Amino acid sequence: MNDKNYNEQEEIFSQVLRAGRRTYFFDVRATKSDDYYLTVTESKKFTQDDGSFHYKKHKIYLYKEDFAEFNEMLKAATDYIINEKGEEVISERHQSDYKKPSEVSEEIPASSESFTDVNFEDI
């Protein structure tokens, strides 16, 4: 099989979840025998003092024979966390990355007084 065909098979299905400085990629890929498996990649952006940045990536491979148990354990673990700690984000570091929809709408000015009237004929 040539590289082009293999690359096309690799990109079966993909979803992206952006979460602050982290991005999660859920990719369905194909094996050489044309069976499917899932890769979950966490990509986290790190910014240096000079403004340059790099990404660290962590990836897991999940095969069909493990889906049922993985789903059960993931659900049990996430349910446990929500039951014990609730859904509120309490880490100060994450508070700046995460804003509830109600917090976002509060930041929008309620009146037009904070805006400058611009006449484009003056430009």
109 lies in some domain: no
The string of pLDDT tens digits covering residues 53-95 is 889 999 999 999 999 999 999 999 999 999 999 998 877 665 5
122 lies in some domain: no
The string of pLDDT tens digits covering residues 89-119 is 877 665 555 555 555 444 444 444 444 454 4
- pTM to 2 decimal places: 0.61
Q: Residue 13: is its pLDDT beyond 70? A: yes
Q: Check: CB of residue 40 under 8 Å from CB of residue 22.
A: no
d(CA 58, CA 65): 22
- Number of structural domains (the chain) is 1
Q: Residue 48: is its pLDDT beyond 50? A: yes
113 lies in some domain: no
48 lies in some domain: yes
78 lies in some domain: yes
Tell me what the mean pLDDT of segment 28-50 comes to.
92
Closest CA to 24 of 44, 47, 54: 44
- Scanning 11-121, the segments in alpha helix (DSSP H) are 67-85, 92-95, 101-106
Output the domain CATH number for residue 34: 3.10.450.700
- The residue that leads in pLDDT, 3 or 122, is 3
Give the domain extent around 57.
Answer: 7-86
34 lies in some domain: yes
50 lies in some domain: yes
